[in-house]
Every structure is written in structure tokens, then in C-alpha cells.
């Protein structure tokens, strides 16, 4: 907003020195209460502000950004992330990636934003993507595979994100089929795979990855408080988003090469080693039915096998899984 821009402007003019709430209010042309509200908002975005009585406020550190420079500096991947399309605010990085893919963007092109106003989940659900605190990115791939195999890439991406988080933090996340990454039972990542295809030929696969990184306890909206978490909440410290993106791109590139050379088998083994639901009692809700049973494993195609209480084996292509 305008007020926001002026507030940041006021702080950069102060150049690390204190400015009083009154001075800020005059500069922006709003009330001191409004100033306070906007300062709280900056805090929730990762700005660290010091407030001292009678002196006012000063910015101690600004949030780290995930610009192309930040990501590419020190990036060890060869192809993934060579081209990066960065924006502060977008409706959805998926939408931009679709547009770029349609106009010939090369494999490995990454779209990344600080904030999404309409982040997309599966089945037209929303993905909450607040500014500066998470990773909201979409990677364009152009694999030469039949389109039925595209869901395997979701599982591949989940493995890459788990490995990336393991490199960047001391956490050990688990995967809940097909695309949720959980830490202590709470969701920190969602993955959305979309295709551009024609007849049986894939033009591109767009892998959208959303990761809660530096949100604090209580930053989530009411309906997510119980089920979502962030790397900050789980580790107790800030995690560099740019570094985590680097780790994920490197892991993903390695796994993708392996996948193109050897197929899904080696990815399947890795995926199963991180899976939290296998061998357990689950509830699978598909669009048409609800199945209670034991998750047996995944097939070579990445389909989930569930043994129902009646002993019947169900092949689950798409569903929401609950672990009691």
C-alpha cells in the first residue's frame, strides 16, 4: 500500500537511526495508531524493529528476499534455476509459470514470489502465502514421459523438498501421500503439479511448491492454526529462504536426472523411506467415497494402495488422507 511504501521510505531516510511515532505519523499523514498498526504488520513480515520509549522506532534488519540474485549466488544446480522470474506480489506463481511455459521458457525455469494473493492448492483450494515468510515457487519441467506418469513428479518433488529441508535445518520431515510434508504431524509444505499437454504428449509440467518458512506461532489464520506449521516454529530460528531454495533445486535436479535415466523405481524407494502413512491405519477421502484401511505402499506409478477393512485392495489416484 501507499502507507507501507512511505513508512519504509521514512525508515530508509532515518538510515538506521530512531524516528518517533509522531514524526512517522506526520511524514505519512496518518494517525499514530495507524503507524503502530503498520509497524506490527512489518514485524509479521520479518522486519525486526526496535522500539524505545521517547526515541521511537528503528529498523534493525530487513527481511531477506528471494530475488534471482539471492537464489543464483552460490547455486550449485546446473540447469534448474538458470532462468528465474521473480516478483514481489503475484496472484499465483503457477499462473505465471503456465504463461512462460506456453511461450517456450526452457526446462528449469523458476518462478518465485514473495507473496501470492491467490495461491492455489489442489481441487481449487487456497494456499495461504503471506509476504516474505514462505517459499512460493513454480518450476517448469519438460520431461519426455507419458502424461499418466506426471503424478510421479509430485512424489519426486516431495522427496527433493524433504532432502532440502534436511540440508538446511536439523529437522526430519515426513511425507503424507501424495504431496504433504509434515513435521510433528503439521503441514509445512504443499505441492501442486499441473500439466500442459496435448493428446498424449506433455509440453510441460509445472511443479508448484509452497513452504512455510519463517511464520511465527499465531501468524496463521484461525483455520490453519491446528494443522499448519513453519520451519521457524519447528526449529526456533529463522531459516534463509534463498538457501533453502538452493538446496531444493540441487536435490531436485539430481533426482530428476535419476528419474529420466532409471525411471520411478529409485525415487519410489526414497519416497517410501520418508513416508509417514505406510503400514498405518488411514482414512482416504476421494471425490466419490471414503475408504478406511491400511496404507500398504505405492505402486510403480505412484498410486497409493490401501487395504480396506473388507480385505479389498483399493488403488487411490487422488484423495485426501487423514492419519487418526
Quote the least distance from Cβ 7 to ligand BTX, whole Å: 26
Rounded CA-CA distance 126/144 in Å is: 30
> Of residues 72, 109, 133, 138, which one binds ligand BTX by CB under 6 A?
138
Q: How far apart are CA 77 and CA 209, in angstroms?
A: 18
Shortest Å, Cβ 307 to ligand BTX: 24
Which of 127, 177, 232, 271 forms a contact with ligand BTX (CB under 6 A)? Answer: 127
Which of 46, 56, 151, 208: binder of ligand BTX (CB under 6 A)? 208
> How far is it, in rounded angstroms, from Cα 161 to Cα 155?
10
What's the Cα-to-Cα distance from 78 to each of 70, 72, 100, 249, 251, rounded to whole Å?
A: 16, 11, 20, 9, 11
Q: Under the criterion CB under 6 A, does residue 49 sit at the interface with ligand BTX?
A: no
Least CB distance from residue 114 to ligand BTX, whole Å? 12
The C-alpha cell at 263 is: 525411471
Q: How far is the CB of 179 from ligand BTX (least distance, A)?
A: 6
Kindly indicate which of the ranges 98-106, 185-193, 253-261, 308-316 contains the residues binding ligand BTX, using the contact rule CB under 6 A: 185-193
Q: Which stretch binds ligand BTX (CB under 6 A): 65-73, 115-123, 238-246, 273-281?
A: 115-123
Under the criterion CB under 6 A, does residue 116 sit at the interface with ligand BTX?
Answer: yes
Determine the Cα–Cα distance for residues 36 and 198; give it in Å rounded to an integer.
53
CA distance 33 to 39: 10
3-state helix, strand, coil in the chain (%, to 5): 35, 30, 35
Q: Supply the minimum distance, in Å, between the C-beta of residue 132 and ligand BTX.
A: 14
125 alpha-carbon distance from chain centroid: 15
Output the smallest distance, CB 221 to ligand BTX, in A: 8
User: Is the separation of the CB atoms in 183 and 234 below 8 Å?
Assistant: yes
Contact 70, 112 (CB under 8 A): no
Q: Does 133 bind ligand BTX (CB under 6 A)?
A: no
191 binds ligand BTX (CB under 6 A): yes
Distant-in-sequence contacts of 230-235, Cβ < 8 A, 24+ apart: 230/133, 230/134, 230/188, 231/165, 231/168, 231/169, 231/171, 231/183, 231/188, 232/133, 234/169, 234/171, 234/183, 234/184, 234/188, 235/169, 235/170, 235/171
Q: Is there binding between residue 263 and ligand BTX (CB under 6 A)?
A: no
Q: Is 192 in the site for ligand BTX (CB under 6 A)?
A: yes
Is 205 a residue that touches ligand BTX (CB under 6 A)?
no
Residue 212 binds ligand BTX (CB under 6 A)? yes
Residue 247 binds ligand BTX (CB under 6 A): no
| Number of residues engaging ligand BTX in binding (CB under 6 A) | 28
Which of the residues 55 through 114 are near ligand BTX (CB under 6 A)?
92-94
User: Cα separation of 147 and 131, whole Å?
Assistant: 34
Looking at the Cβ atoms of 121 and 297, the one nearer to ligand BTX is 121
- Which region among 6-14, 73-81, 187-195, 252-260 touches ligand BTX (by CB under 6 A)? 187-195
- Which residue from 101, 137, 181, 270 is in contact with ligand BTX, where contact means CB under 6 A? 137
Least CB distance to ligand BTX at residue 101 (A):
13
224 counts as binding ligand BTX under rule CB under 6 A: yes
Contact 245, 66 (CB under 8 A): yes
| Peptide bond between residue 178 and the one before it cis (omega within 30 degrees of 0) | yes
What residue ranges bind ligand BTX (CB under 6 A)?
92-94, 116, 119-123, 125-129, 136-138, 179, 187, 190-192, 208-210, 212, 224, 228
Amino acid at each position: 500500500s501507499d502507507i507501507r511504501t512511505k513508512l519504509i521510505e521514512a525508515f530508509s531516510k532515518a538510515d538506521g537511526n530512531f524516528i518517533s511515532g509522531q514524526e512517522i505519523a506526520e511524514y505519512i499523514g496518518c494517525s499514530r495508531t495507524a503507524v503502530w498498526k503498520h509497524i506490527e504488520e512489518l514485524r509479521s513480515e520479518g522486519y525486526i524493529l526496535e522500539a524505545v520509549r521517547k526515541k521511537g522506532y528503528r529498523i534493525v534488519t530487513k527481511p531477506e528476499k528471494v530475488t534471482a540474485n539471492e537464489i543464483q549466488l552460490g547455486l550449485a544446480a546446473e540447469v534448474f534455476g538458470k532462468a528465474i522470474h521473480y516478483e514481489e506480489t503475484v496472484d499465483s506463481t503457477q499462473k505465471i509459470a503456465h504463461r512462460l511455459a506456453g511461450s517456450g521458457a526452457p526446462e528449469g525455469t523458476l518462478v518465485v514470489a514473495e507473496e501470492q494473493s491467490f495461491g492455489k492448492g489442489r481441487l481449487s483450494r487456497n494456499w495461504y502465502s503471506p509476504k516474505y515468510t514462505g517459499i512460493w515457487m513454480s518450476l517448469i519441467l519438460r520431461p519426455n514421459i507419458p502424461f499418466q506418469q506426471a503424478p510421479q513428479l509430485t512424489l519426486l518433488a516431495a522427496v527433493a523438498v524433504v532432502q532440502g529441508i534436511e540440508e538446511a535445518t536439523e529437522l526430519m520431515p515426513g511425507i503424507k501421500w501424495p504431496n504433504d510434508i509434515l513435521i510433528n504431524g503439521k503441514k509445512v509444505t504443499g505441492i501442486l503439479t499441473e500439466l500442459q499437454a496435448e493428446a498424449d504428449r506433455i509440453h510441460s509440467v509445472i511443479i508448484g511448491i509452497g513452504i512455510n518458512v519463517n511464520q511465527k506461532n499465531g501468524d496463521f489464520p484461525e483455520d490453519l492454526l491446528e494443522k499448519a506449521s513453519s520451519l521457524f516454529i519447528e526449529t526456533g530460528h529463522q531459516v534463509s529462504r534463498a538457501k533453502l531454495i538452493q538446496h531444493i533445486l540441487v536435490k531436485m535436479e539430481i533426482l530428476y536426472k535419476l528419474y529420466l535415466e532409471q525411471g520411478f523405481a529409485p525415487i519410489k524407494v526414497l519416497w517410501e523411506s520418508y513416508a509417514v502413512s505406510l503400514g498405518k491405519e488411514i482414512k482416504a477421502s476421494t471425490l466419490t467415497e471414503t475408504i478406511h484401511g491400511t496404507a500398504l505402499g505405492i505402486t510403480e506409478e505412484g498410486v497409493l494402495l490401501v487395504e480396506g477393512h473388507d480385505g479389498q485392495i483399493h488403488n487411490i489416484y487422488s484423495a485426501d488422507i487423514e492419519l487418526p
